[in-house]
Amino acid sequence: MFSDSTPEPGSAGDESRATDSRLGATPAEQSSAPRAQQSRTPSATRPDPPRRHSRRRVLLGGGALLGTGLIGTAAWALNRFVVDHVEVDDVAAYEAINSSVSSTARATDVSITDTGYTSSLTSIGIERVSTGSGDDTVTYYVADIQASEATAVRSAFANNAYGTNITALPSAMATEHDAILAVNGDYYGFRSDGILIRNGVIYRDDGVRDGIAFYTDGRVEVYDETSTDAQTLLDAGVWNTLSFGPALVQGGSVLDGIDAVEVDTNVGNHSIQGTQPRTALGAIADGHYVFVVVDGRDKGYSRGVTMTELAQIMADLGCDCAYNLDGGGSSTLWFNGEVINQPSNGGERETSDILYIAQGA
């Protein structure tokens, strides 16, 4: 995430509620779930010891050493931001049972170069762009994607598990799923709200912000999560949703006021303002997508961009709509076996999820 500031104690919801076959629901809520969401779940809470996540160690920051009055706060932060809470421990099996789409076509005539990928179904072009000079230099990477099968754009969760605080390097997720292209996702596991549909499966249904939806027919729309629900979206053909924001472009125009947007105001990382590394998704037309990763925090190579500058990049690429994802040290672009941008941490940072296109798509 952009900020590593310590979250306000008690500000987030309880992440340790019981696991059941409808993800995100308590046992009492399960009985009212749609039949499609009450299918058998190959999930179980893992008895693994707590994992240490380097990107969130600062959240604990020695607080326990300041006195016994902070022990409760440190324990809360450890549980909320560090300890894995697994709700589905085999996502691949779960999606095989529950996905609204049964299969994805396999391509033929696959060709890969240093700057692109083509097959009978999909084409990807990679471009590195630098603008400005000196300390004002901005460097970013564009993946231009055209897919005749919209389900070629897939999601993957860290460690093939769904829940909170489960993280892995984007390269590990991309390798596990034989990706040709991948970008970091919305870091869903940092929060407990938002509408989360991935690969045709509902994982979370708690609309609070603007999201972006990818449909099986190739359409992409920015939408208000609070005006609908996950089942309605799934019934309408939504394949993947992401919940971070803000929306950057609508109807081909840069949206106003986006440099003042705050996200996750209940957990301390209020601001995504200023010049930062960024990751964004956009759609030029049905089945024609753009993934953009902007490097930053490295003057002379790339200072990063403001939210409005990011939106202008997306609009200039021809996007009808575009959306901001998790950025900062998370911003990562993987292509053909390697990370091709320069993450601001000096290397990859673990995160919850990626969007990817597999070899052979």
- Domain membership of residue 9 (yes or no) is no
| More confident call, 48 vs 223 | 223
- Domain membership of residue 4 (yes or no) is no
- Domain membership of residue 218 (yes or no) is yes
Query: pLDDT tens digits for 102-143?
Result: 766 789 999 999 999 999 999 999 999 999 999 999 999 999
Query: pLDDT tens digits for 279-318?
Result: 999 999 999 999 999 999 999 999 999 999 999 999 999 9
- Residue 63's φ and ψ, nearest 5 degrees, are -60, -30
Question: Distances in Å between the alpha carbon of 10 and those of 51, 296, 331, 336, 339?
Answer: 21, 32, 28, 43, 37
Average pLDDT across the chain, whole number: 83
Mean pLDDT, rounded, for 168-183: 98
Q: d(Cα 311, Cα 321) in Å, to the nearest integer? A: 10
Query: pLDDT tens digits for 243-256?
Result: 999 999 999 999 99
In the predicted model, is pLDDT for residue 328 greater than 80?
yes
Copy the structure tokens of residue 93.
Answer: 């099996």
- Domain membership of residue 60 (yes or no) is no
- Domain membership of residue 198 (yes or no) is yes
How many domains does the chain divide into? 1
DSSP state of 227: G
Mean pLDDT, rounded, for 83-99: 93
- Domain membership of residue 162 (yes or no) is yes
Q: d(Cα 83, Cα 77) in Å, to the nearest integer? A: 9
Give the pLDDT confidence score for residue 68 in this predicted structure: 57
Count Cα neighbours of 16 within 13 Å in the Cβ-side half-sphere: 8
In the predicted model, is pLDDT for residue 341 greater than 80?
yes
| More confident call, 3 vs 76 | 76
- Domain membership of residue 314 (yes or no) is yes
Q: d(Cα 254, Cα 312) in Å, to the nearest integer? A: 6
| More confident call, 325 vs 100 | 325
Omega of the bond prior to 170 within 30 degrees of 0, cis? Answer: no
Give the pLDDT confidence score for residue 271 in this predicted structure: 59
Closest CA to 244 of 211, 205, 282: 211
Give the pLDDT confidence score for residue 102 in this predicted structure: 76
CA angle 136, 313, 342 (to 5 degrees): 60
Report whether 182 contacts 358 (CB < 8 A). Answer: no
In the predicted model, is pLDDT for residue 26 greater than 80?
no
Q: Which structural domain range is residue 208 located in?
A: 72-262+271-358
Give the pLDDT confidence score for residue 50 in this predicted structure: 42
- Domain membership of residue 12 (yes or no) is no
| More confident call, 27 vs 85 | 85
